[in-house]
Structure 1
Amino acid sequence: MSRREPLRMPLPCRPCPVLRSWAKMTPMLPQRFFSLALLLTACSGDKGGSTGTPSPAAPLLSVRDGRLLDASGRQVLLRGINARVEGLFDVTFDDGRIALEEIPPFTGEDCAFLAETLGMNHLRLPVNWSGIEPHEGTIDTGYLERIGTLVDDCAAVGVLTIVDLHQDAYGKDIGEDGAPLWAIHPPPAELLEGPLTSAELAERRRSPVVLEAFSSLYNNATLTSGQPVRDAYAAMAAELAGFLADHPGAVAIELQNEPVVFGAQDLLDAFHDAVTAEIRAVAPELPVVFEPDAIRNITDTAVMNTPFPWDQAMYGPHIYTQVFEDGWVSEDTGAIEESIARSVEEARFHSAHLYAGEFGNDPRTERGLLFLSTCFDAFDLHQASWALWLYEEHSQDSWGLYDEGDAPHTRGALRAAAVDVIARGFPTATAGRLIGLSWDSPSRTLTVRLEDATSDPHELAVPVWVYPDGVSATCDGTTAAVRATHPGRAEVVCNGSELVVFPQG
C-alpha cells in the first residue's frame, strides 16, 4: 500500500477556533480526556494486498464486515472496563521527582471479578511508550513481561485484553503519561513532577511544550539523535506487537489513545498508516484499534476524509457528550444517542467494528448513572463493543467502582449503585448473525434477536451480581436448556430467531 505524504501541522501562533474551544473546555476536563473471547481470519494486512509476512500465531478475533468473529465464526461483543495498573501506567520517576499520582494495583483476581460478578469479557489496558522504551533503542523486557502476565491471567478467566498505547498530554515529563523524555521534541526546558491535580493537568494539556511535542510526532520531526520521532513510535509499537504474539489473550493493539491533531486529519491518517504498517510487518493478522481526533470528545463528530486503509480494524471513539463542558447538566439523553449513532456511521465508513474504548461520568451521582445507562442502551441498539472508564481511581476525579478506603489511596467499599447499572447480560458470542439485543433492568431480562442461527451454542454473559440463582431461557418462546460453563457465563442452543434470558425461578 502506498503511503500518503502527511501535511505539515504548523504550531498556532495564536489560538485557532478549535484551540480556543479546547482551552475553554480543558479547565473542566477530568484526567481521562486525552485519554475483545475469540476471532480469526486467514487474510489480513493492507486492504490493497498481503504483507507477505507469515503470522507467528493466529489471533483469537478477526473483523469481517464490521463484525467481530471468533475462530468458530461466532459473532463476538467485547464489553468491559479500563484499568490503570500500578507498574504499567507509568507516572513515576527515577530521578527523585515526586510521582504524579498513586495508581492502584490490578491483578488476575480483579479480572475474575469482572468476569464472574459483572459478566464482562474485556479489559482495555493502558500502557505507555515511556514504560516500553524508557531509553532510546532499549526495550524494557520486564515491563513487557508484566503486560504479558496480566494478559495471560485475565485470559485464563475469560477476559480478553486490548493493549492501549496510552497518552495524556503527551508524556509524564511534561503532561501525565505517554512518551519518554527522549521522544519529546523539542526537548523541554523544565521537567515537571507531581502531585498532579485535575486543574494542573488541564493546564499541561494546552501548554506550548505539549502542543509542540504532538506536532513533532505527527509531522515525524527528527530527534536530536537523528531518528524521526514518528518512526521511533512505530518501531516501538511493532516491538509490542511482536511480544504479544505469545500472549493470545491480547486480541488487539490500540494505535494511540486520543490523538491530538486539531482537525489535521491527513496527519492523523499518515500516523495511523505508518504505525499499522510496522505492526503488520510482525503481526499480519493482529487487529488494531484506531481513534479519531480527540476533539470528537467535545464535538461528538469526526472528520471522514479517507477510509482506514487496513483490514482487521476497530474504530475506537470515546463518548463523553457534554461531560467535559459541564458534567452533562442538561441530562440530554438524545445528545448521547445521536453521538453514538454518528459513531456507527463513522465505523461503517471505515469498514471497521465499532468499539467505544472509553465513556463515562461520575458513578457516584444519579446524573452519572443516567449517562451510563443511556450509553449502555445505545450500544445494545447498535451492537457495539465497549470499555467503561474506569475500574478504580483514588486520585484526581475518583471515578471507578470503589470508594477510597480509610487510608489514602486504598480500596474501600464497592459502589453498589454503580454496579447495579453496569452489570447486565449480553451475548458474548452468537452462533449466527446478531441483529438486535435489548436489556430490561427491572425484570433482568435479556432479549437477543438472531438471523441464520446454527445449532452451535451461544455464549452469554450472566453476571452473578444480576443472576445469583442462575438463569432460564426460551428460544422462540419454547424453554431452552441452559448450561452454566463457569460463574458469569452460560451456553444456550437456539437456532431460532429470538433468545430470551431471565432469572431462574
Structure 2
Amino acid sequence: MARLLVGLVLLVVTGCDRPTDESRMVVVDGPKREEALRFSISEGQIVDQYGRLVLLRGINVSGTWKQGPTHLGTQVEPDFRRYASYGFTVIRLLTFWSAVMPERGTIDGAYLDALAQRVEWAQRAGLYLFVDMHQDVYGPGFGFNGAPIWTCDDRYYAMLIEPPVPWFFGYQNPGVLACYDQLWSSQELQAHYLAAWRAVAERLQGYPNVIGADLMNEPYWGTHDPATFERERLQPMYRSVIAALREVRPDWLLFMEPSAVKNVLGRSYLEPDGTPNAVYAPHLYHPAMEIGGAYGTLKPYFSGRINADRGESEKLSAALFIGEWGSYGSQSDYRTYLADMLALYNRSYIGWTYWESGPANSYGLVAPGGTLKPWAESLMEPYPHLLAGREPQFVRDGERYTLEYVAAADLTRPTVIAFPSFRAASLEWLEQLNVERSEIGIHRVSIYHTTPNERVRLVFRLAP
C-alpha cells in the first residue's frame, strides 16, 4: 500500500468580472455532473443513488429577499456561479407565502416564474438547492415576512406601534401572538399554506437540482405550550404539507425544523412519525451573539448543541442538517468562531447552510458594494462532498486536511472532494493510502480507490 506524494495543479476557469479588490476570487463555471444525483436518507445520512454519503454545504439566498416588492433581491446569474466557486454545493432558497399567494387563493404565477429562473441559475452553476418557506414575526403585516396580510385581522396589525429592537422581541407583541394562534387553529388558513407549497412544487418539479423542501422557517407557537404545540399543531400540519409535496415530487428530502423554542431552550419536542427521507434541520445560534455579543467562551455551548441535535435527529430517524448558523461578523473573535464551528461540523460530519449570502445584510458574506467581508474566506474550505465509503473522519490542522474512511464495496463511483476554487490554485497530496488515481476538475477532485472495504487515508494541503 504505497504512499504517493504528488503535486497537482487545480485547473481554474475564469467566468465573469469581479470587483477589483476581489480579483483573486476566481469565478468558475459550476461543477460538471455526469448525471443528476438523486438523494435519499439511509441510516441517518443523506446518500445518493450509488450509496455514497452526501455532505452538502452552502449558503442561504437570501436575507435581502425578505423585503421589497419582488421578494427576489438583487442577485443575478453570476452570483450563483460565485457561490459555486466558494466550494458550496447547496443553496437554501428562500420563498414566502405572501409572495406565492398575495391574495386569498390566488397564486402569483409571475413570481413563481421568476423564482424558477433563480433555480435555473443555480442548476447551471452546478448547485443543488432546497426551498425554504420563510417567515419571521408572522408576516409583512408586522413589517416582517411570511404569511400574507389577508391571513390575519387588521386590528392585530394595529398593535405594532414601532419596530422591535432586537427584532425577535416582536414575537411577544400581542397582535403577533394572536395571528399565530389563529393560524394554528384554522384549517382554512393551513389549507391555503398547503396550496402555496403545492404551487411551488409544481412549478419547480422539472428541476433535478431541487432536492427538497424546508416546510417552515422557525415555526412560532403563539400562546401555546411549546411542547404541546410541536406535537399537536406543528407536526400534523407538516404531515399535510408532506402528503401534498409527495404527490408532486415523491423524491424530495423533507427538511423539518423544530419550533423557534429550539433557539432559546436548545431542545425540540418533535416526535418520531415514520416520515421517509426526513431531514432534521434546526438552526444553531446563541442569543448573546444574535445581539452582537462576542463568541468568547461559547464553544462548549455549541458543541453540546450539536451533540443534542444529533441525538434528536437519531430519535426521528432523520439526517441532521443545520439550516442556519452565523452571526454579525463584527465580533473581534469571529474568525475563531468560524474555525471552531467548522471543526465541530467536520468532526460530526454535518452539512449546513450559512446565514446568509447578502449583500448589505448584517450577517451576509457580502458587504455593501459587492465585496466579500474580511472574514468570509474563513468559511470556505474543502470537504468530502460525495464519499464512496463509510465511517468517515475528517479533520483540519492548520492548512493540513486529513480524511479517513473505509472504502465502499462498490468502487464504480469515486469519492469527490469539493474545493473553493480561489484557495485551490494548487493542491498538494501529502499522503494517499489505497488510492488508485485522482482526477482534477473545476473545484472538484475525484478519488478512485484500489481495494474495497479497506481503510482509505488522504492527507492534503492547499497552497496559499
TM-score of Structure 1 vs Structure 2, range by shorter chain: 0.7 to 0.9
Q: Which residue matches 1:463?
A: 420
Q: Provide the C-alpha distance between the structure 2 equivalents of 1:325 and 1:189, rounded to a whole number of angstroms.
A: 25
Q: Which residue matches 1:404?
A: 368
SS in 2 for 1:213: helix
The answer to whether the 8 A contact 1:393-1:399 is kept is no
Q: Which residue matches 1:307?
A: 272
Q: Which residue matches 2:385?
A: 428
Q: Where do residues 433-448 of structure 1 align in structure 2 (5 Å cutoff)?
A: 433-440=390-397, 442-448=398-404
The answer to whether the 8 A contact 1:66-1:348 is kept is yes
Task: Report which stretch shifted further, 351-360 or 282-291.
Answer: 282-291
Alpha carbons of 1:299 and 1:280: their partners in 2 closer, same or farther (altered >3 Å)?
same
1:108 to 53, 57, 77: 77
Q: Where do residues 34-53 of structure 1 align in structure 2 (5 Å cutoff)?
A: none
Alpha carbons of 1:171 and 1:485: their partners in 2 closer, same or farther (altered >3 Å)?
same
Aligned length: 420
Q: Provide the C-alpha distance between the structure 2 equivalents of 1:178 and 1:59, rounded to a whole number of angstroms.
A: 31
**Amino acid paired to 2:76:** T
| Partner deviation per Cα, 1:107-162 (whole Å, 9 max, x = no partner) | 3322222222x211011111101111111121111211222121122122221111
Q: Provide the C-alpha distance between the structure 1 equivalents of 2:140 and 2:428, rounded to a whole number of angstroms.
A: 47
Alpha carbons of 1:182 and 1:191: their partners in 2 closer, same or farther (altered >3 Å)?
farther
Q: Kindly state the Cα deviation for residue 85 of structure 1 after the two structures are TM-superposed.
A: 6.7
The answer to whether the 8 A contact 1:186-1:213 is kept is no
**Amino acid paired to 1:245:** Q
| Partner deviation per Cα, 1:464-489 (whole Å, 9 max, x = no partner) | 2332223436432x675321222x11
Q: Provide the C-alpha distance between the structure 2 equivalents of 1:462 and 1:69, rounded to a whole number of angstroms.
A: 20
Alpha carbons of 1:479 and 1:202: their partners in 2 closer, same or farther (altered >3 Å)?
closer
SS in 1 for 2:118: helix
Q: Kindly state the Cα deviation for residue 364 of structure 1 after the two structures are TM-superposed.
A: 3.3
Q: Kindly state the Cα deviation for residue 372 of structure 1 after the two structures are TM-superposed.
A: 2.3
Q: Which residue matches 2:460?
A: 502
TM-score (norm 2): 0.83
1:176 to 139, 144, 151: 144
**Amino acid paired to 1:70:** D
Q: Kindly state the Cα deviation for residue 59 of structure 1 after the two structures are TM-superposed.
A: 7.7
Instruction: Note if 1:155 corresponds to 2:123.
Output: yes
Instruction: Note if 1:355 corresponds to 2:333.
Output: no
Q: Which residue matches 2:100?
A: 132
Q: Which residue matches 1:248?
A: 208
The answer to whether the 8 A contact 1:79-1:387 is kept is yes
SS in 2 for 1:337: helix
Q: Kindly state the Cα deviation for residue 72 of structure 1 after the two structures are TM-superposed.
A: 2.4
Q: Where do residues 11-410 of structure 1 align in structure 2 (5 Å cutoff)?
A: 60-84=38-62, 89-92=65-68, 104-116=73-85, 118-185=86-153, 188-190=156-158, 199=165, 201-220=167-186, 228-261=188-221, 262-263=226-227, 264-266=229-231, 267-304=233-270, 306-322=271-287, 323-324=289-290, 327-328=293-294, 330-395=296-361, 398-405=362-369
Alpha carbons of 1:311 and 1:387: their partners in 2 closer, same or farther (altered >3 Å)?
same
The answer to whether the 8 A contact 2:45-2:53 is kept is yes
Gaps of 5+ in 1: 1-36, 39-57, 95-101, 222-227, 406-410
Alpha carbons of 1:448 and 1:363: their partners in 2 closer, same or farther (altered >3 Å)?
farther
SS in 2 for 1:137: coil
Q: Provide the C-alpha distance between the structure 1 equivalents of 2:425 and 2:236, rounded to a whole number of angstroms.
A: 50
1:489 to 439, 444, 447: 444
Alpha-carbon RMSD across the aligned residues, in angstroms, is: 2.8
Q: Kindly state the Cα deviation for residue 311 of structure 1 after the two structures are TM-superposed.
A: 0.5
SS in 2 for 1:493: strand
| Partner deviation per Cα, 1:209-261 (whole Å, 9 max, x = no partner) | 2111111222225xxxxxx1111111211221222211121111100000112
Q: Kindly state the Cα deviation for residue 191 of structure 1 after the two structures are TM-superposed.
A: 9.6
Alpha carbons of 1:382 and 1:372: their partners in 2 closer, same or farther (altered >3 Å)?
same
Q: Provide the C-alpha distance between the structure 1 equivalents of 2:94 and 2:120, rounded to a whole number of angstroms.
A: 16
**Amino acid paired to 2:326:** G
Q: Kindly state the Cα deviation for residue 346 of structure 1 after the two structures are TM-superposed.
A: 0.6
Q: Provide the C-alpha distance between the structure 2 equivalents of 1:434 and 1:152, rounded to a whole number of angstroms.
A: 35
Q: Provide the C-alpha distance between the structure 2 equivalents of 1:178 and 1:301, rounded to a whole number of angstroms.
A: 24
TM-score (norm 1): 0.76
Task: Report which stretch shifted further, 143-152 or 245-254.
Answer: 143-152
SS in 2 for 1:481: strand
Q: Provide the C-alpha distance between the structure 2 equivalents of 1:303 and 1:325, rounded to a whole number of angstroms.
A: 26
Q: Provide the C-alpha distance between the structure 2 equivalents of 1:453 and 1:165, rounded to a whole number of angstroms.
A: 39
Identity score, percent: 24
SS in 1 for 2:81: helix
